[in-house]
Amino acid sequence: MSKLGTLGARLHRGEVGYDFVGNRKIWYGISILITITAVLGLAVRGLNMGIEFQGGAVFTTPKKTNVSVSQAETYAEDASGHDAIVQQLGDGSLRIQVAGIDTDKADQIKDKLADDLKVDAEKINAELVGPSWGEQIANKAWQGLAIFMILVVIYLAIAFEWRMAVAALVALIHDITITTGIYALVGFEVTPGTVIGLLTILGYSLYDTVVVFDSLKEQTKDITKQTRWTYSEVANRSINGTLVRSINTTVVALLPVAGLLFIGGGVLGAGMLNDISLSLFVGLAAGAYSSIFIATPLVADLKEREPAMKALKKRVLAKRAQAAAGEEPPGGRGDDTAEDATPAVVGPRTQPAARGRGRGRPSGKRR
């Protein structure tokens, strides 16, 4: 068995573990700093919206052109008076994207480009997107995101409880804010592919969070009937028990996305891959982080405010203090609270072998 597999088994059995919930203030602080940076990026730089959202035109040249990408960008900006994005397609043609222009000026810009690029104007394909249509697309995207969040909260509240639904919603908002903030800081264009990537990573983030929540729900069914662990300790055990699984699934998901982003978009220059790959890459990493460091510790914070959990915590701490002082627990040796007084993690315990097993027993042989 590999070392990582051995570690995962030990984490699941509770033999080792890290106190994620106990150090939750550190993770909250890190998340707040990252979120503030993302919000500042959105406020200062803003999002570079594609023509699908703000309107514009896309001109595609014939297959054979003797103009470089940088020269085509200069020609397009001079002809339109707006910033242009030029991409070279696989067949050698150029895709010239100009946002924020009036559609009635598209023919004029097309003729000017044809003169500069030395091609026939009839061979340049123009696709126009009106500002009103782009605004409708943006509104539909926000509506879809809002409906998605509402359905997630309703489902988690029914399947688990409202505290877990609130924690999952906070984690989702955390992931969206960080991803959009990175988009603003990097300056990548926001396209429908970006929206698809956001919805994809939200589902993935929920997957990790629900796995931990399901383990936590199973382990806290009768938590008030024992005095070994507090709710926060059981929550921490749930995180550790699924930690290696979360790491493995995240790494496996990030590898192909990193290939799309750094090799496809960076090395090969396939800029269209950046639209979806950046949102996937940042979102997957942020989703894995929030499911471990934000969602479950936040659930523990909310649950520890309940009177029943406060009373449980007092009983657990009292038993441990009693055990540390070496006092006999109430009820004598027949009471199982003596064992409960020692802090431990949830998991199976190895029972000691019975002493003297087999001693003095007849071998079964006749003499």
Name residue 279's amino acid. S
More confident residue, 88 or 325: 325
pLDDT tens for 58-101 read 888 887 677 788 888 888 888 887 778 787 776 677 888 887 77
Same domain, residue pair 234 and 104: no
Number of domains in the chain: 2
Q: Are residues 92 and 185 located together in one domain of the fold?
A: no
Are 88 and 235 found together in one domain?
Answer: no
Boundary-marking domain end, from 88, 112, 129: 129
Indicate the pLDDT class of residue 341, thresholds 50, 70 and 90. Answer: very low
In a domain, 325, yes or no: no
Mean pLDDT estimate for the chain: 77
Is the predicted pLDDT of residue 32 greater than 90, yes or no? yes
Q: Mean pLDDT, to the nearest integer, of 228-252?
A: 86
Q: Containing domain of residue 147, as a range?
A: 3-49+133-308
Q: What Cα–Cα distance (Å) separates residue 130 from each residue in 47, 96, 217? A: 19, 17, 50
**Single-letter amino acid code for the residue at 346:** V
Residue 335 within any structural domain of the chain: no
Residue 18 carries which DSSP code?
A: -
Q: For the residues of 219-255, what is the DSSP string, one character each? A: HTTTGGG-SS--HHHHHHHHHHHTHHHHHHHHHHHHH
**pTM of this prediction exceeds 0.75:** no
Comparing 171-180, 239-248, 305-314, 331-340, the range with the smallest average pLDDT is: 331-340
